[in-house]
Amino acid sequence: MQGDESLRFPLDFYQGMKKLQVIAFEKLEYPVVPTSFQCSTNLRTLCLDKCSLMFDLTCIGNLSNLEVLSFANSGITILPSTFGNLKKLRLLDATGCYNLVIDDGVLKNMEKLEELYMRSFGKKACCFTDNNGNELAERSEHLSALELEFVGNNAPLKNLSFKELNGFKLSVGCHFTEVGWRHRSQELLKSKINELFKMTDALYLQVYDMNTLEDVDVESPHPQHHPRNSSFYNLRFLVVSECAELKYLFTPSVATNLSNLEYLEISRCPIMEAVIHTENDGSDIIKFSNLKYLRLDALPNLLSFCDNVSVIELPRLMELQLKGLQNLTSIYPSSASSSSVSSNISGVQYFFHKEDATPKLEKLFVSDMKILKEIWPPQFSISNLCLLRELTVEHCGSIVVLFSMDFGEIEHLSSSLRSIEVIECGSLVNLLPRNPMPLFNHLEKLKVENCASVEVIFDIDMGCVGETDKVSSSRLRSIRLRRLGKLREVWRIKDAGNNLIHGFEAVESIDIKDCERFENIITPPTTILDMRALKQVTIIRCGGESERNDEMVESKQEQEMAEQ
């Protein structure tokens, strides 16, 4: 029942309801009359959620057959000793009840208790005494679900058992909603929280003095042990944030045992140098077999994914996000550069040390990397890009060439790229290769904004275009250009002759704004592009002959349609 908070019940409301098994009230000030509880000895479930409980709760202890009891968000401040009579209780929910005091004997006598929920949502947590802690330890052997915030001057939790736990939310040192520096790895170990890791599939860590993940994994196995013995064997999601002393996250032994890890996010760890640290000469092969998502953000001292040039394989990685990694000059190496020696000689700092480390990559996001000069080197094998669908590059002021690989000799390369977005890359000059046609098989959207050095978008040398590419079509529909201070033309075609240029048949809109040096959409103006789908050309606040070019493209479209 949910209704008027002031709704009152008559004294004999429950008379004659001896078979009543479930009562649920929400947002009521006077949900029940205390004396009437004694008439409900068969009651199995009592929920008084978000109610203002203005009466003595001790009478609830008379409900001897009660199995579910909830005071969620009702603000009760005490679990009286009479609740110890609820020996059949299986679920107790005191979520949102802060400053809660538990009388001695209450938890001890709830012999059937399986689920306990006591989160306080950022307010003062439950006031645990030594006796409360001992009773919780005794009950923990049978708990399958536990939600608890253990903060402040509570007595230490000792001898907790997590053998039966299937679902849990535990916070040691701060509230779930709190961001602070009070976590300590020793606190986690003393609470034996590492025993939970064998059942954990999602782990969020913010530990000030953690040096590696082994700091909270005292049972971390030796490499020769079976991986199922690892505390982290079942881990699927791992998020690590604001660990001020974390220099490396994994050792090879821990990394090898994370065979089920699918999602890894590391952020705001100011001294981290590598995700994986190895002591040897880099002969290890470390494979994250199921990792699909990797996000690294605000790691200003990161030098590479793994130091000492061990071979890292991410065979199922689908999405990679790199942001705020200020020491990297390149993301991928060429096959000739996959060694620490060549890296040191050239001064190039690679994130990966193997060019085919991510063969299934579909989404790549690169942002705020000030000295990054390239994503892929010129010698990079472009066959490793065949599954890439989305590319976004932002705030990378040192990149001069986006695609530096030579596509000229590749006749049958099939690119999966759907979207290219480049924003705030002030040094970028060459956006696409001289033969961009292999990239257009599935490309639908191209957006370039705030790149002060770009003079042309499609700088195409028809002499570099293979015969197959000359007649191939594309799916490119939208071209959006904004605030490109040096942009002069969209297309610059070399050696086109009188041939009809294919590859842009699907373009529907060209949107150009705030490009003060813009002069031509196409040069030379005699070039004939197949743009049969073009519907709209928008040129606003641009210099040169924007209006004439608008008319020129429209006339070319009409001409090409007439020739078909």
Is the sign of the CA dihedral 42, 44, 48, 53 positive or negative?
positive
Q: Looking at residue 150, what is its pLDDT?
A: 66
How many distinct helices (H) and strands (E) make up the chain? 7, 31
What is the DSSP code string of 66-135?
Answer: --EEE-TTS---EE-GGGGG-TT--EEE-TT-TT-EE-TTHHHH-TT--EEEE--TTS---B--HHHHHH
Q: With contact defined as beta carbons under 8 Å apart, do 405 and 378 qualify?
A: yes
Which phi and psi angles does 553 have, rounded to 5°? -65, -40
Q: With contact defined as beta carbons under 8 Å apart, do 426 and 400 qualify?
A: no
In eight-state DSSP terms, residue 402 is: S
- CA separation, residue 67 to residues 47, 70, 114, 137, 165 (Å): 11, 10, 10, 21, 19
- Alpha carbon distance 51, 71 (integer Å): 8
Q: Which of 206, 260, 204, 202 is nearest to 228 (CA)?
A: 260
Q: Looking at residue 331, what is its pLDDT?
A: 93
Q: Looking at residue 189, what is its pLDDT?
A: 43
- Alpha carbon distance 330, 374 (integer Å): 5
Q: Is residue 43 part of a domain?
A: yes
Q: Which of 485, 493, 527, 529 is nearest to 510 (CA)?
A: 529
Q: Is residue 338 part of a domain?
A: no
The pTM (predicted TM-score) of the whole model is: 0.69
- CA separation, residue 216 to residues 207, 220, 259, 281, 375 (Å): 9, 9, 19, 27, 35
Per the listing, tokens 């536990």 go with 146
Q: Is residue 171 part of a domain?
A: yes
| Consecutive H or E run containing 556 | helix 546-563
Q: With contact defined as beta carbons under 8 Å apart, do 523 and 515 qualify?
A: no
- Alpha carbon distance 429, 425 (integer Å): 9
Is the sign of the CA dihedral 53, 57, 63, 68 positive or negative?
positive
Q: Which of 341, 333, 252, 241 is nearest to 288 (CA)?
A: 252
- Total domain count, the chain: 1
* Domain membership of residue 42 as a residue range: 1-178
Which phi and psi angles does 345 have, rounded to 5°? -65, -45
Q: Is residue 483 part of a domain?
A: no
In eight-state DSSP terms, residue 433 is: -
Q: With contact defined as beta carbons under 8 Å apart, do 314 and 358 qualify?
A: yes
Amino acid, res. 213? L
List 248's β-bridge partners, or say none.
Answer: 274
Q: Which of 528, 459, 506 is nearest to 487 (CA)?
A: 459
Q: Which of 281, 280, 288, 290 is nearest to 305 (CA)?
A: 288
Beta strands 78-79; 101-102: pairing state:
parallel
- Alpha carbon distance 343, 329 (integer Å): 11
Q: Looking at residue 205, what is its pLDDT?
A: 65
- Alpha carbon distance 275, 164 (integer Å): 33
Mean pLDDT by 10 residues, the chain (564 residues): 56 70 81 56 85 78 90 87 93 87 92 88 71 87 81 63 68 48 42 53 62 50 46 76 85 83 91 85 79 95 83 91 95 66 59 88 96 89 84 96 70 74 95 81 92 94 64 78 95 83 88 94 86 92 61 50 49
Q: Looking at residue 525, what is its pLDDT?
A: 84
Q: With contact defined as beta carbons under 8 Å apart, do 147 and 119 qualify?
A: yes
Q: Is residue 343 part of a domain?
A: no
Task: Reply yes or no: is the peptide bond before residue 524 cis, omega within 30 of 0.
Answer: yes
Q: Is residue 388 part of a domain?
A: no
Residue 282, both tokens: 């880099």
Q: Is residue 269 part of a domain?
A: no
- Alpha carbon distance 457, 432 (integer Å): 7
Q: Looking at residue 32, what is its pLDDT?
A: 62
Three state DSSP letters for 291-358: CCEEEEECCCCCCEEEHHHCEEECCCCCEEEEECCCCCCECCCCHHHCCHHHHHHHCCCECCCCCCCC
Per the listing, tokens 């030594």 go with 130
Tally of CB atoms within 10 A around 228: 11
Q: Is residue 313 part of a domain?
A: no
Q: With contact defined as beta carbons under 8 Å apart, do 359 and 332 qualify?
A: no
- Judged by phi (left if over 0) then psi (alpha if -120 to 50, else beta), residue 374 lies in beta
Residue 122 sits in a domain whose CATH number is: 3.80.10.10
Q: With contact defined as beta carbons under 8 Å apart, do 442 and 415 qualify?
A: yes
